[in-house]
Amino acid sequence: MDLSYGAEYERFRQEVRAFLGDRWSPDWRRDPGRIAEFRRQATERGYLFRNIPRRFGGSEQPPDVLRAQVIAEEFTRARAPMEPPGNGVRMLVPTLLECGAPWQQERFIPPTLRGEIDWAQGYSEPGAGSDLASVRTRGELVGDEWVINGQKIWTSNAQNCQYMFALVRTEPDAPKHQGLSYLLLDLRQPGVTIRPLKMITGQSGFNEIFFDDVRTPADWIVGKRGEGWQVSRATLKHERSAIGSAETYLQQFDKLVELAREVSRDGRPAIDDPLIQDRLAEIEGYVVAHKYSTFRQLSMSVNGRDPGRVSYMNKLVGTEIGHRIAALAQELIGADSLIMPTYERGHGVGNERWMNQFFGSLGVAIAGGTSNIQRNIIAERGLGLPRDSAAGGGA
Amino acid sequence: MDLSYGAEYERFRQEVRAFLGDRWSPDWRRDPGRIAEFRRQATERGYLFRNIPRRFGGSEQPPDVLRAQVIAEEFTRARAPMEPPGNGVRMLVPTLLECGAPWQQERFIPPTLRGEIDWAQGYSEPGAGSDLASVRTRGELVGDEWVINGQKIWTSNAQNCQYMFALVRTEPDAPKHQGLSYLLLDLRQPGVTIRPLKMITGQSGFNEIFFDDVRTPADWIVGKRGEGWQVSRATLKHERSAIGSAETYLQQFDKLVELAREVSRDGRPAIDDPLIQDRLAEIEGYVVAHKYSTFRQLSMSVNGRDPGRVSYMNKLVGTEIGHRIAALAQELIGADSLIMPTYERGHGVGNERWMNQFFGSLGVAIAGGTSNIQRNIIAERGLGLPRDSAAGGGA
Amino acid sequence: MNFDLDEQQTALQNTVADCLAQQLDTPRLLAVVNGDDGHDAALWRTLGELGVFGVTVPEAWGGTGLGLLEAALIAEVLGSRAAPGPFLGQVLTALAIAEGGTDAQRERWLPRLARGEAIATLVLGEPAERWQPDEWTLPAADRLAGRKTHVLYPWLADVMLVGTAGGGLMLVANGEGIDVERIPCLDPTRRLGHVTFTGAPAEPLAFDGARLRDAALVLLAADAFGGARRCVDMAVEYALGREQFGTVIGRFQAVKHQLANMATDVEPAQGLYWYAAHAFDAVAEDAARMAALAKAHIAERFLQAARGATEAHGGIGYTWEYPLHVWVKRAVFDRAYLGSPTIHRRRSARLAGWTSAA
Amino acid sequence: MNFDLDEQQTALQNTVADCLAQQLDTPRLLAVVNGDDGHDAALWRTLGELGVFGVTVPEAWGGTGLGLLEAALIAEVLGSRAAPGPFLGQVLTALAIAEGGTDAQRERWLPRLARGEAIATLVLGEPAERWQPDEWTLPAADRLAGRKTHVLYPWLADVMLVGTAGGGLMLVANGEGIDVERIPCLDPTRRLGHVTFTGAPAEPLAFDGARLRDAALVLLAADAFGGARRCVDMAVEYALGREQFGTVIGRFQAVKHQLANMATDVEPAQGLYWYAAHAFDAVAEDAARMAALAKAHIAERFLQAARGATEAHGGIGYTWEYPLHVWVKRAVFDRAYLGSPTIHRRRSARLAGWTSAA
């Protein structure tokens, strides 16, 4: 057991750090041109898109979880941009790499990596949340085009997306799971109506999208007709593993301790209150356990060993920690919880910013499969309990 | 809203108190003869067996929840015995009153009320816990006798019981729920083997009972052949409503506060520790809510109003309160939780007596239907959620 | 013993419930939520006509002369429907004036308050969490000068009930020497502003600030109970209507048990707020402690139920147009306003004499 | 970075696990549970032959010279199997003598301790919850006089490691001047007695009592993790085997989710005890705090898992013959021994400098 990274990785860290010092300044954070150029250079050096072939614009590096970890640490510290956020890089590219036709890979992956095109996710519908196989949006092949009618929901950032990848029912007579296809389509066409959904926070991050005779070429299908369910599950796997990092919670926890030092209770600093100390330490137990649990999983993966059932639990562990932090933060900020936080990224915002963390902790329990879906996965894959015929229970 | 009992009931209280002063001394608590005589007199006065007809030895009083409450309060205060404990009075007598043949009522109810015969409950089996319809103990009518073979479990106090009321499968070819009969049988016969089950506490309160060609007369059946399931559910209803009283938890809570005054933490009285104060007050919130919730239910019943869904929740509410008290008590008694409590009723026992409350709180979650069964009942009857085809989930 | 509502109380609660069920549908609620003012003047008038604001006003001044219990029963209904507006200050200012005012003060304010024609608000909080009467520092004076915070709808108020150093109360008619600063509010149905007094004329009122605080805690507890139960109901209703995997999700055992746990956590609290209100009216020695315990306990139940209901809804519960978020935010309000649960549990512990020093 | 076990560590843990899986079946465990002594001498010999007790003894004295991490890995397995006996004192007395003893002390005790031929125990606690080194009051002296409490198996011990006023440690060979009073123990697999010294000859040992306490907290945390995970496993196994309503109860979604929640509460704790043990061996500045945090956190997880497993079992889990109750009682032990979770969280807060005074 050795928690240092070892000489090789520390050399690598110096290399990354030097690169960042040379090629990046946090002042460029809102300059898309600089960002694109920086990403190009970072990819050339093998720091970004490590598991994507060079021919598609990736850096095609051998798998090395520790290098990836060092890169993430140093980029975070330098506040430098990593891979572009969004569904394109996170979900569509892995799906195309696994199931896409060669022309699809060549045409869509490179500009997606360069951040030139953004993708909306078209999975959920008002009647199909956790239960994606209930999708009702229909696609009909008319000549050499799919004609699509229906509605999607919970697509994030759709206003800014040029394309969508979507689950569409193309085989209405087939059994539920075998009637879907995975289609790509251009959102910038007549018949597409995008309606922002305002969220609990007052911000609008998600949309409803309505399709009225929307068209896409016959070969903009990933996998075969009726294989959409399986193709989408390849992506869901990527989505699930992408959520949740112990580092986030460690940082939140450190800020929580700072908060307890700053605020007063009963006329004294909250940090001196034995009740607050106990609650902080209680949360710290969970946070530190999660931290070393993820270290353990990471190391075991590197060593080719199976980290066991805990690997199914990371998201739920994080969700619970987020709840605990939100509850104590509300206690600490007191009357500031009555104030609606603004969403500016500046530093002038008061303690009510913790209410963003509160709403975020609520959202995490819902996003990417509700906590009930997570519990099903843990019970079935982690603990080996039998699948239920009705496998649901989320919302 | 008036939390006093009013003049009429206060007069009644004085009457009960005077009776107890005249006719009862706590010194008689271990004297069966005195107890039996006292119960006879108290029944004559209308204080015991209030809803049982006089012809069976009851006092046949008009329903009056408040009088019942006053009686319970005064008997408890005087440490005087109320109705004999055990399954006979609590479960069999109501069942016979509802479903029994006249000769069964006449023969069995009076001596049961007098405490002359005790009854064992024969419902659960190793393969049939929450799911009583799975009972496999078989009864076959041979001539004018039932011949019974099989096994029962979780019968309490069976060594001291003369009779048992049991669910027995008499119609093996009928559907599961329609194949059972409700039989009475004499346990003092060859072929009955009683094996005490030692519990987590080291005490043995429950038994396994094995039947090997055990016999009972053909007419010792309550209800008709195949109606045992419905007959037993009449009794289950009585069992569920009998469990749980806010008074118990109020008393436990008061003792918990006393405990916090007596023990030290960090070299100071625990009661001064803000953390302990907070946990006490947190529990008190639940305890006081439960207290007035039961007051509310009681009063509404008296007034002929429906107290609503909360009436299905009392047991689970009590179970949760018991857990909370057990957890804080363990914190307070510290190293005394390492000691196995003895079960003497004396006052010399140390703080480890709280471990009895801990084990008790574990047992409550299991007894009379597990907490999961309670949750099903709350969800279905209280909240109107649909019944599941597989209605289980307990153990 | 009769720990139940009488016919008048039941009728009162039903009347208000029926009125809100008819009038305050989701579009109308969202209109207030999206509006600048967080107030629905027409609804306020309707409630005034129903006699909601006269509940603590003696009959001689146009009210029904009932107690805090009746006010709390109404607060439960308002909480259940997420009714917006300055109800809290309205009925409690009336209560304080009725019990502690001079005849002139009563004459001037009570009839108009009872009808809802004048609006009253409580001016209690001070910066740095100084919610409690023994923490107030604003000097009592003929002309007030100083800063108070987190006042409900001060811009609407015709009269303010102001807590002063030492735990006393003063009456201030809105007018000169009062600066109001509106703040962005998390709860869109209970809007707040800070108030700075710069020489506002004030009259003393013979009503104890601590007793006023206790009454406010009871009303917040009642509001929280109503909100919490409504969250359970919304989650149940959603579970009965929402289909997944070919069946309503309310048939999934995990969902059923989560809802059962939520309901079981919430339901008994009705008895707690009833008793806290009753104690305020009739059991003096329990009043302060039960108010603290009820507010602490029920506000936590509400927030937990609101959180649970959101999770039970999934994505839709996170949107603005589905109104569940309003209850989430009311839960945050009820929890924080006038001090957090741990603060009131600590007060309750002190009131119970939980100390070795006693 | 490699936060994983090496081959030797994995092999060590597997060896002990295999041995206990073979030897300590339920009848044998219940025999110890029902016995007077709470000890299984044959099992103890077997473990000694496997090298379990030599893990903290340098090779020169017959051990394997490993660290607390390896001892903790063994403790996890012992916890998982509810192995009875005085393991805690055995390996920690050896650790203390190895690091702080004179050559004479090492020579006298380490070889026999490593083989398990001699038994050692920790004599730390004092009346009124004085578990921590800075609370000990027994005067350090050539001949000890005073009372210590809650000592594991003092009647079996050949040598005692005794905490004295000021937080120091002394070695006492069992013999004159030691009175042992056995007490009725809740945990039948870790039996306790109180010890009164009446002039027992004692030798100083140059090892810090606080560091010994930290090591003990880590081993208790490891034991608790093993026990907690075992409770989850027993509940899962039971749910897979038990039929109700015509199907295994593990198919009921409510049961599945309860078990998923239990497992999710427990599993990450493995990383916490690993790190606490590693910190003891290699990261001095984290050692004390992580030991406190690990013991507090994991002991609570264990008790919760034990409680959950009992409920998941229903009646059978409440019986003596089904051994689940042994883990329930071990959870109570791990929670209370050497101080409760809130005590250690408070210590952890102090060690973290969570105070405005700093």
ipTM of this predicted structure: 0.92
CB under 8 Å to B239, separation ≥6 — which residues? B90, B91, B368
Helix (H) or strand (E) holding C96: helix C87-100
- Bridge partners of A125? A128
Q: Which of B53, B48, B50, B55 is nearest to B24 (CA)?
A: B48
Which comes out higher in pLDDT, residue B364 or D266?
A: D266
What is residue B239's predicted lDDT score, i.e. its pLDDT? 47
- Interface probe with D: pick from C247, C251, C257, most Cβ of D within 10 Å: C257
**Average pLDDT over every residue of D295-307:** 98
What is residue A243's predicted lDDT score, i.e. its pLDDT? 36
d(CA D56, CA D69): 10
Contact B292 C293 (CB under 8 A): no
- Interface probe with D: pick from B207, B229, B316, B338, most Cβ of D within 10 Å: B338
pLDDT digits 0-9 by tens, A217-247: 999 999 999 999 889 887 665 544 443 467 7
What is residue B236's predicted lDDT score, i.e. its pLDDT? 60
- Percent of chain B at pLDDT exceeding 90: 57
What is residue C297's predicted lDDT score, i.e. its pLDDT? 98
d(CA C113, CA C91): 8
What is residue B330's predicted lDDT score, i.e. its pLDDT? 96
A83, A125, A208, A239: which is the annotated catalytic residue?
A239
A273 contact B CB<8A:
yes
Cα distance from C315 to chain A (closest Cα, Å)? 6
Q: Which of D163, D80, D60, D82 is nearest to D121 (CA)?
A: D163
For residue A393, give the nearest of C186, C255, C307 by CB distance.
C255
Please count the residues of chain D. Answer: 358
**Average pLDDT over every residue of C194-220:** 98
Q: Residue A139 carries which side chain, given as an amino acid letter?
A: G
Helix (H) or strand (E) holding B213: strand B206-217
The alpha helices in chain A, defined as continuous H runs, are 6-23, 32-44, 65-78, 87, 93-99, 102-113, 228-242, 246-262, 274-302, 314-333, 354-364, 371-377
What is residue D239's predicted lDDT score, i.e. its pLDDT? 92
Average pLDDT, chain D: 96
Q: Which of D314, D327, D156, A118 is nearest to B368 (CA)?
A: D314
B10 contact A CB<8A:
no
pLDDT digits 0-9 by tens, B193-224: 999 988 898 888 788 999 999 999 999 999 99
Cα distance from D247 to chain C (closest Cα, Å)? 14
Contact C249 A395 (CB under 8 A): yes
Which comes out higher in pLDDT, residue D298 or B235?
A: D298
What is residue A394's predicted lDDT score, i.e. its pLDDT? 38
For β-strands A206-217 and B221-222, DSSP reports them as unpaired
Q: Phi and psi of B121, rounded to 5°?
A: -90, 125
pLDDT digits 0-9 by tens, A138-194: 999 999 999 999 999 888 888 889 999 999 999 999 988 899 999 999 999 999 999
For residue B292, give the nearest of C69, C275, C352 by CB distance.
C275
Q: What is the CA radius of gyration of chain C?
A: 20
Cα distance from D258 to chain C (closest Cα, Å)? 9
Q: Which of B331, B272, B351, B275 is nearest to D340 (CA)?
A: B331
- The pair of structure tokens assigned to C105 is 């003060």
What is residue B73's predicted lDDT score, i.e. its pLDDT? 82
For residue A370, give the nearest of C246, C251, C314 by CB distance.
C314
What is residue A195's predicted lDDT score, i.e. its pLDDT? 92
By mean pLDDT, which of A217-221, B361-365, D267-271, D334-338 is the weakest? B361-365
d(CA D265, CA D54): 33
Other Cβ atoms within 10 Å of C224 Cβ, number: 32
Contact C268 B299 (CB under 8 A): no
**Average pLDDT over every residue of B369-375:** 79
**Average pLDDT over every residue of B151-179:** 90
Q: Is pLDDT at B127 greater than 70 in this prediction?
A: yes
Contact A278 D346 (CB under 8 A): yes
CB C157 within 8 A of CB C120: yes
Q: Which chain C residues are within 8 Å of B244, Cβ to Cβ?
A: none
- Interface probe with C: pick from B11, B293, B297, most Cβ of C within 10 Å: B293
CB D86 within 8 A of CB D156: yes
pLDDT digits 0-9 by tens, A365-390: 776 557 888 898 899 989 999 986 54
Nearest-5° Cα angle at D202, D154 to D281: 75
By mean pLDDT, which of A288-302, C286-300, D111-125 is the weakest? A288-302
d(CA A109, CA A106): 6
What is residue A214's predicted lDDT score, i.e. its pLDDT? 97
B73, B98, B239, B282: which is the annotated catalytic residue?
B239
Q: How many beta-carbon contacts under 8 Å exist across B and D?
A: 139
pLDDT digits 0-9 by tens, A29-40: 889 899 999 999
- The pair of structure tokens assigned to C149 is 């915070």
What is residue B225's predicted lDDT score, i.e. its pLDDT? 96
- Bridge partners of B139? B148
Residue B395's pLDDT band (boundaries 50, 70, 90)?
Answer: very low
d(CA A393, CA C250): 8
The chain B residue lying nearest A273, using CA atoms, is: B274
d(CA B70, CA A194): 68
Cα distance from A48 to chain D (closest Cα, Å)? 21
Is residue B239 among the annotated active site residues?
Answer: yes
The reported pTM is 0.91
pLDDT digits 0-9 by tens, C131-161: 999 999 999 999 999 999 999 999 999 999 9
What is residue C13's predicted lDDT score, i.e. its pLDDT? 97
Task: Give the SS3 label for residue B107.
Answer: helix
Q: Which of A208, A233, A209, A238 is nearest to A222 (CA)?
A: A233
Which range, A261-275, B247-261, C291-305, has the best average confidence (pLDDT)? C291-305
Q: Is pLDDT at B369 greater than 70 in this prediction?
A: no
Contact C251 B280 (CB under 8 A): no
Q: Residue D32 carries which side chain, given as an amino acid letter?
A: V
d(CA C147, CA D22): 75
Residue B307's pLDDT band (boundaries 50, 70, 90)?
Answer: confident
A92, burial (CB in 10 Å: exposed 0-12, middle 13-18, buried 19+): buried
What is residue B77's predicted lDDT score, i.e. its pLDDT? 84
CB under 8 Å to D170, separation ≥6 — which residues? D140, D144, D161, D162, D164, D202, D203, D204, D205
